[in-house]
Structure 1
């Protein structure tokens, strides 16, 4: 092979090598970009689908008596003072829907004298402003009731803290139609405790006094589960087709009694 031919061959060979390196580099770069794109596309799928229903700045989307409810330091605050003592319980009620099957997460802090609760699948009481009747995740400052399922102005206590309960179907129309007649010692009588979730006092130790606690409600079909700080506190299977509700209003309460303050934050809802 002549010298010129060798030089040309060498040039072509080196050029091919350079082109190969450029192609490989570009290919690797594209693959890296594809990989980044794939991860980026997957990130939204890692969300928990909960949507904030309280903006931390205003009472937009909520309705209640502003003598008792306000926004302070990013929190929804309910307060009863010596000058504003209540004659009846009052609520601030979410206005953007009536959830049926859902999960709710929020945090609360309550003074020792406080009594509050989270109502759900509840009805408005026409004769009383800002009042609800229905299921309630009970909350109180002395931690006597926190975690239990109490039905406001209806069947009273459905499950105490530490109980898994089945609410029995009412075949007797006299009992079914008389809520007061079937309540004794503030507890619905047509119920069966089918399992224990733990001793009430042991579960109480999981709840912080006058500090922030997280509530997680899992409400699906006729099963109502109340968690506090990740611990299942009460579990109700409601087979009472006459008195149960499968959807309704959502709100939080300040209760009749001494001056008190309750705060809620990070209120998030997921429809199931």
Structure 2
């Protein structure tokens, strides 16, 4: 009888040990914490050009043709060079307002790779067009309006044409880049929607002026640039958050 009781106890102990090992090997799944978008960051303080530099000239004085005027970054004349953010961004949401001079041209360029072998920001970064659609000739070049204000420059015709306000008025631009996809908005209207890599993107590049460009659209992170295209332009209320 004693021998039988010992065996039963041993069996129960073995079963409990096996159950413990099983539970340890297969722990109860814990819910994953949701990844929250980053907080909004003002990358222009409305008073100075702190946080920006001329392309390829970090740490050097910014051209005096880039000024701060009534709470806005103002390009007063050409040959100033593009202005780029000190910080680089991968997945992000950008909001800003822009105003262009009569017959003016500029752009908002992103994922700019700063390297001396690329002489201009647009050699690597896609561009959201800033333009006077009425009087700048670029509006009638390209295909189906793909060089007009709000468009993905020379690559996609605007989803919503004529979203820009008349010259002298402020336009609100929004750019969202996340997980290999981008959307562009102008004054609350979607103007572009596209992948930033893959076969569809490659096809768009092949059919654009950027065909064969070594670094164009090849970088998944980089600087944000405000373009000097030789015309007066203003930018204000610039903020970004990482996604």
Q: Verify same fold: TM over 0.5.
A: yes
Contact 1:137 1:149 in 2 (8 A): yes
Task: For residue 209 of structure 1, report the CA deviation from its aligned partner.
Answer: 2.7
Q: 1:220 aligns with which of 178, 183, 191?
A: 178
Bigger helix fraction: 1
Corresponding position of 2:46: 56
Cα deviation, residue 130, structure 1: 7.0
Residues 94, 222 of structure 1: alpha-carbon distance in 2 compared, 3 angstrom cutoff = same
Q: Which structure has the bigger radius of gyration? A: 1
| Alignment match of 1:148 (pick from 151, 168, 171) | 151
Between structures 1 and 2, the one with greater strand share: 1
TM-score scaled by length of structure 2: 0.63
Contact kept? 2:110, 2:222, Cα under 8 Å: yes
User: How high is the TM-score relative to the length of structure 1?
Assistant: 0.57
Deviation, 1:218, is 0.7
Query: How many corresponding residue pairs?
Result: 171
Q: Post-superposition shift, 1:244? A: 3.4
Please give the alpha-carbon distance, in whole angstroms, between the structure 2 residues aligned to 1:239 and 1:205.
26
Work out whether residues 78 and 262 of structure 1, in 8 Å CA contact, stay in contact via their aligned partners in 2. yes
The 5 A counterparts of 1:1-272 are 49-64=39-54, 65-80=62-77, 85-86=78-79, 90-95=81-86, 97-126=87-116, 131-133=121-123, 134-142=125-133, 144=139, 145-150=148-153, 157-162=154-159, 198=160, 203-240=161-198, 243-256=217-230, 260-272=231-243
For each residue in 1:203-239, what CA deviation from the matched residue of structure 2 results, as whole angstroms up to 9, or x when unmatched? 2055333210100001112211110011000111133
Distance 1:130 1:92 in 2: 11
Offset at 1:54?
0.4
Any stretches of 5+ residues in structure 1 without a counterpart?
1-47, 151-156, 163-197
Task: Show structure 1 runs of 4+ deviating over 4 A.
Answer: 127-132
Could you tell me how far apart the structure 2 residues matched to 1:101 and 1:90 are?
Answer: 25
Cα pair 2:107 2:128 within 8 Å, conserved: yes
Structure 2: any 5+ residue segments left out of the alignment?
1-37, 55-61, 140-147, 203-216
